[in-house]
Amino acid sequence: MKNKIFKNSITAVILFFTIVSFPQDKSSSIITLDLFYTKIKSQKNPQIIDARGPEEFALNHINGAVNFNLESKNYAKSVAALDKSKPVFIYSIGAGRSVWLANELLKNGFKEAYSLEGGIANWIGNGKPFYANSKSKLSIAEYNKIIADNNSVLVDIGSQYCAPCKKVKPILETIKAQYGDNLKIVEIDLEDNPQVIADLKTIKVFPTLILYQKGKIVFKKEGLGDLKKDVDGALAQSN
């Protein structure tokens, strides 16, 4: 009966994920990157869970992590294999699935379960060790050259699997149509360029937008916000 209830709750959360994306709300299970990393390092064999889809996990993940696909029929079996007396460290693309899973584990008798604030974006974006199945298409040297060779550069850093990141794309098209060659737009996705994101050591969430002018950062936006208005205002001030 207990397993049936657990399965039903999993089905409900999967349905919820198909409708909306989770906000980065402050849950008791969410901890900062520094604390998450410190706690992991204190464990001999840390239980690290990647709560993203299997295709995301295959592309990149935290070293030593195992994939808990919430849609898998083996999900309950995977949970049962964990040691309830030891901490469980969970992350996802942001802090949606990981928060849900951490809270579920705590409800079901686990002593400690932590969700990483900012998810995989925060981990890789601050240069922590990770696995990637392919080399980045863009190097940090090439990135820096683009910044140096163009007067104004707008960089969009995100992931193909990040719902808010997808909302940035049509806005970028509008900006591109308005400014043309006067503004260089660079789109960097985690799936193609994890090492560049790691080398920047300044990304905490997806999406992150950075506007450079003459090689210097004019603004850095975490999340969508009013991107068009901010770009227009910054460029207007420079003219």
What pLDDT is attached to residue 239?
A: 65
The per-residue pLDDT for range 81-135, each reduced to its tens digit, is 999 999 999 999 987 889 999 999 999 999 999 999 999 999 999 999 999 999 9
Are 169 and 55 part of one and the same domain? no
Provide the terminal-to-terminal Cα distance of the chain, rounded to the nearest Å.
67
Task: Report d(CA 205, CA 94) in Å as an integer.
Answer: 7
Element (H, E) at 119: helix 119-125
Q: If you count DSSP H runs as helices and E runs as strands, how many of each does the chain have, helices first?
A: 10, 11
Domain boundary among 99, 132, 165: 132
Number of domains in the chain: 2
Look at residues 132, 166, 186 and tell me which one is the last residue of a structural domain. Answer: 132
Cis peptide before 46 (omega within 30 of 0): no
Domain match, 153 and 119 both: no
The position carrying tokens 């001999």 is: 44
pLDDT, one tens digit per residue, over 6-37 is 444 444 444 334 333 444 444 568 999 999 99
**Cα distance between residue 224 and residue 59, in whole Å:** 25
